[in-house]
């Protein structure tokens, strides 16, 4: 395995770099899209159940089908990384819209009422009070989305763009264990590091959670 890494370090690094941005760009985009959608699910309660159901159905579409299918819908080339980014963004939104809604719904009414009594208008109250209080729940969802995105990117290798997944297909075609092993290990490590970074961010931005005996 060490030999394989030494001889193919360029290819492995390129794959790793592609893997990182293919997985993380959708997390950022999906998060930004899911925030307003999740908020709508709370602001208009009748929207909550349709939202949860649509998200569930979106999540059950196999990633491979979405990767193959998006070029037809978007008019992109089949080998374009854009397909992967859009597909993973859809999954991220499906996962996070519900988490954002659940997080905002979990905010104690007493807190929102006190904020209103102090003169907060709806929008400022959302940004300054409700969102920070809901942050632990939302960030927990973000961890799940990030980790599952990192593992899903590799499926893209079946259509030619898949970061570390290309090491899987290459190894599989040559019946050669090393690239597959390197790919799996790097993918798991990458997920672990990304997860750790979010945990550290969470501890930094929600210091109050540590004083209530709650798990950070």
Nearest to 99 by CA among 39, 59, 28: 39
Contact 120, 128 (CB under 8 A): yes
Residue 78 CB, nearest distance to other proteins (Å)?
A: 8
Q: Judged by CB, which is closer to other proteins: 112, or 136?
A: 136
Q: Cβ closer to other proteins: 47 or 64?
A: 64
Q: How far is the CB of 104 from other proteins (least distance, A)?
A: 21
Q: At what angle do helices 63-74 and 81-105 cross, to 10 degrees?
A: 110
Write down the least CB distance from residue 107 to other proteins, Å. 21
Q: Give the shortest CB-115-to-other proteins separation in angstroms.
A: 29
**Nearest CA to 152 among 59, 33, 13?**
59
Q: Which residues contact 183 (CB under 8 A, 6 or more apart)?
A: 15, 154, 164, 165, 166, 167, 168, 171
User: Which residues form the interface with other proteins (CB under 8 A)?
Assistant: 56-57, 59-66, 68-69, 72-73, 143-144, 147-148, 150-152, 154-155, 157-159, 164-165, 167-169, 171-172, 175-177, 180-181, 183-184, 187-188, 191-192, 195
Q: Closer to other proteins at the Cβ: 85 or 159?
A: 159
Name the one residue in this structure whose structure tokens are 């993380």.
24
Residue with smaller CB distance to other proteins, 97 or 126: 97
User: Least distance in Å: CB of 37 to other proteins?
Assistant: 20
CB nearer other proteins, residue 73 or residue 201: 73
216 DSSP 8-state letter: -
CA 65 to chain CA mean position, Å: 19
């Amino acid at each position: 395995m060490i030999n394989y890494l030494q001889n193919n370090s360029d290819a492995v690094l390129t794959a790793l770099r592609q893997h990182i941005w293919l997985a993380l760009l959708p997390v950022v985009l999906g998060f930004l899209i899911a925030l307003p959608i999740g908020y709508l699910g709370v602001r208009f309660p009748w929207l909550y159940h349709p939202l949860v159901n649509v998200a569930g159905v979106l999540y059950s579409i196999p990633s491979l089908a979405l990767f193959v299918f998006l070029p037809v819908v978007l008019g992109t080339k089949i080998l374009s990384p854009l397909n992967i980014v859009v597909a993973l963004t859809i999954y991220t939104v499906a996962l996070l819209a519900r988490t954002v809604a659940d997080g905002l719904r979990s905010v104690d009414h007493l807190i929102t009422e006190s904020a209103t009594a102090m003169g907060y208008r709806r929008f400022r109250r959302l940004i300054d009070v409700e969102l920070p209080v809901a942050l632990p729940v939302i960030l927990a969802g973000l961890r799940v989305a990030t980790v599952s995105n990192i593992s899903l990117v590799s499926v893209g290798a079946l259509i030619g763009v898949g970061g570390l997944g290309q090491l899987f297909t290459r190894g599989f075609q040559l019946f050669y264990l090393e690239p597959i092993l390197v790919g799996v290990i790097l993918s798991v490590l990458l997920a672990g590091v990304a997860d750790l970074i979010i945990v550290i961010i969470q501890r930094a931005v929600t210091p109050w959670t540590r004083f209530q005996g709650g798990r950070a």
